[in-house]
Amino acid sequence: MRETAALYLDLMKKILINTIYEDPNGGPWQPPAYARTLRENGQDWPVAAHTMIGLKRLDNLQDCIEQVIAERIPGDLIETGVWRGGASIFMRAILKVHGVTDRRVWVADSFEGLPAPDPARFPADAGDTHHQHDYLAVSLDEVKANFERYGLLDEQVVFLKGWFRDTLPQVSTDALAVLRLDGDMYESTWDALVNLYPKLSVGGYVIVDDYKVVPGCRTAVEDFRQTHGITEPIQEIDWAGVYWRRTA
C-alpha cells in the first residue's frame, strides 16, 4: 500500500508539471520549446501543465503535509495564489492517498490575475507588472474543472474567490497546518501572513513560493517576521522558494 501511494503521488507530480507530454513554454523569459530541466526546476510558464512550480517545490509540499499528518499537527491546508490549481490539487491528492477526511484544502485566488500595485499603501510594490500578464489570470471554473479531471473535486476543497484583503479574513477555520503563499507581490504576501499566520498551529509550515526572486514578496516576509518576532530559520527549497516551521 505504501509503495502504491508513493507511485501515485510521483505520477501526480509528473502529470501536474507535464513532463509526460512535454507542452512548450508560454512565458516571456525562456525559449518557447519544452526544456525538461527548466520544467523540473519550475523555471518556465507551461502552456498546458497545471502548475509551474517544478519538482522540488512539489516535493517540499509533500514533505510538509506528510509531516503534519504523521505528527497530527491540527489544521487545514491553504494555498494563496493558485494559477491553474496544480499545487492545490496535489494537496488534495496527498490527503486522499493517506485517507485523511478531517482536513480541508482552501484554494484562494482572485481568479482574475494579480492586483494592480498600490504604492501608496505598499511602496515595495511600486512598478510591479504582474497584473499586466493575462496569462496569470485563470478562471474559477477552469480551476474547478482541473480538480475534477483528477477526481479530486469534493467537499474537502473550499474555493475563496476575490482579493486576499477581502477573502482571507473570512477563512472559517480555527487551525491551519500548512500555508503555501504564492501571491508574488508584497501586498498579496502581507495580506496572507497577517490573516493566516495567527491560525497556523505550532508544528505547522509556511511555504513562500517567490521569496528568493520577487523583492516585494521577500520584503513582506521579512517585515512580518520582524514585526512579530518570528525567529524560526528560513530554509531554502530551490532557486525561488523557501519555508519555515512554526515552533512557538
Cβ atoms of residues 46 and 148 within 8 Å: no
Q: Which residues in 152-183 are b (16+ Cβ under 10 Å) and which e?
A: bbeebbebbeebbbebbeebeeeebbbbbbbb
E-strand stretches of the chain: 76-80, 105-109, 157-161, 176-181, 200-208, 235-236, 242-245
> What is the distance between the alpha carbons of residues 58 and 68, in angstroms, rounded to a whole number?
16
How much is the pLDDT for 1? 67
Burial level of 243, CB count in 10 A (0-12/13-18/19+)? Answer: buried
- Give the chain's domains with CATH numbers: 55-245 (3.40.50.150)
Quick one: cell of 170? 473570512
CA-CA-CA-CA torsion sign (241, 192, 152, 201): positive
Which residue in this structure is represented by grid cell 485517507?
A: 99
Q: Which residues in 63-96 are b (16+ Cβ under 10 Å) and which e?
A: ebbebbbeeebbbbbbbbbbbbbbbbbbbbbbbb
Cα 95–Cα 96–Cα 100 angle in degrees, nearest 5: 55
Q: What is the DSSP letter of 221?
A: H
Q: State the greatest distance between any 2 C-alpha atoms of the chain, in Å, as a whole number.
A: 54
Cβ atoms of residues 109 and 212 within 8 Å: no
Q: What is the mean pLDDT of each run of 10 residues along the chain (248 residues)?
A: 91 98 93 96 97 98 98 98 98 98 98 92 89 92 98 98 97 97 97 98 98 97 98 98 97
Burial level of 118, CB count in 10 A (0-12/13-18/19+)? Answer: middle
